[in-house]
A and B are shown apart, each in its own frame.
Chain A
């Protein structure tokens, strides 16, 4: 009987520990940073917006939810609502690629200027008037042409 109790107690502890592990390790997991994730697609900001404007549904099936690397020219850098956002020129003057930068990118983002050619990696979320990329980071900021 005593032995049985011990086993039950042990099993109970094990389940409890597993629960704690799951809660803290999995449920409480925050977002991964994008540097550890492999790029699915590389594309220019012009091509990305033009593909979306041509056929949004089709473009979504290619890019939505994917980690993409975008080459483009800086249209604007914005710090609205405490976000660090880089807008890249799109296919025409009404469209752009909105890149919401990861918070660790702030020092690099501050140095960016309109007209600069850069490459950004982020997760594509879709298109409204502009393509939207979240969790973005700069890659090889030293592209000089």
Chain B
């Protein structure tokens, strides 16, 4: 009986250990978006993006506050939050997906596809994002870029401002992870 208890103890101890080393986190991921038109270029950065990767399940989750995007001009920030993204109603953008054929143990650089659901402005779209994963002795860095169509996420831009805002927005990201201690 005692042996079984000890065994159970060891087993649960091991699984806990596994959980510990299996998740990595960033609280200060960087995401930027760019809109290039002949009228004006708009750029915004969010430096407080949260992301967690489950290394054993190859799963990635990303969450960010839309009102934490910083623009060069305060009026752009105002338009973005109040008219386009409606950040009072939809405060967060999220992404949940799976890194296809990800090898967490491989050191160096690997280029992988992440397949998952991107939610912006309350609308979810399935996307595939190419990412460069650098594994430097257990310190993971994910970078990449992709494009999103404004129309896909039901973002309404008044006709008078339509020439100022690109139809497709390019998005770049840079997430530097740390072990997530549970």
- Interface of A toward B, CB cutoff 8 Å: 26-32, 60, 64-65, 78, 80-81, 83, 85, 87, 93, 96, 98, 100, 125-126, 128-130, 132, 134
Contact = CB atoms under 8 A, between A and B. Distances in A.
22 contacts: A26-B75, A30-B73, A31-B74, A31-B77, A81-B30, A81-B174, A85-B28, A87-B27, A98-B28, A125-B68, A126-B65, A126-B68, A126-B91, A126-B92, A128-B48, A128-B50, A128-B63, A128-B64, A130-B27, A130-B48, A130-B50, A132-B48
A80 B74 contact: no
Interface in B1-58: 25, 27-28, 30, 47-48, 50
Contacts of B181: 93
Q: Would you call the interface of chain B mostly helix, strand, loop, or mixed?
A: strand
Nearest to A128: B50
Given A78-B28, A100-B48, A132-B48, A125 B65 contact: yes
Contact of A60 (B47, B74, B91): B91
A56 to B, nearest CB: 9
Contact of B68 (A78, A93, A132): A132
A115 B118 CA distance: 38
A29 B73 contact: yes
A88 B64 CA distance: 19
A35 to B, nearest CB: 16
B128 interface: no
B74 A29 contact: yes
B151 interface: no
B24 to A, nearest CB: 13
B73 A100 contact: no
Contacts of A83: 28, 47
B68 to A, nearest CB: 4
B93 to A, nearest CB: 11
A136 B179 CA distance: 27
B178 to A, nearest CB: 10
A100 B47 contact: yes
Interface in B131-182: 174, 176, 181
Interface string B82-110: 00000000011000000000000000000
Contact of A81 (B28, B75, B77): B28
A45 B30 CA distance: 23
Contact of A134 (B25, B50, B70, B75): B70
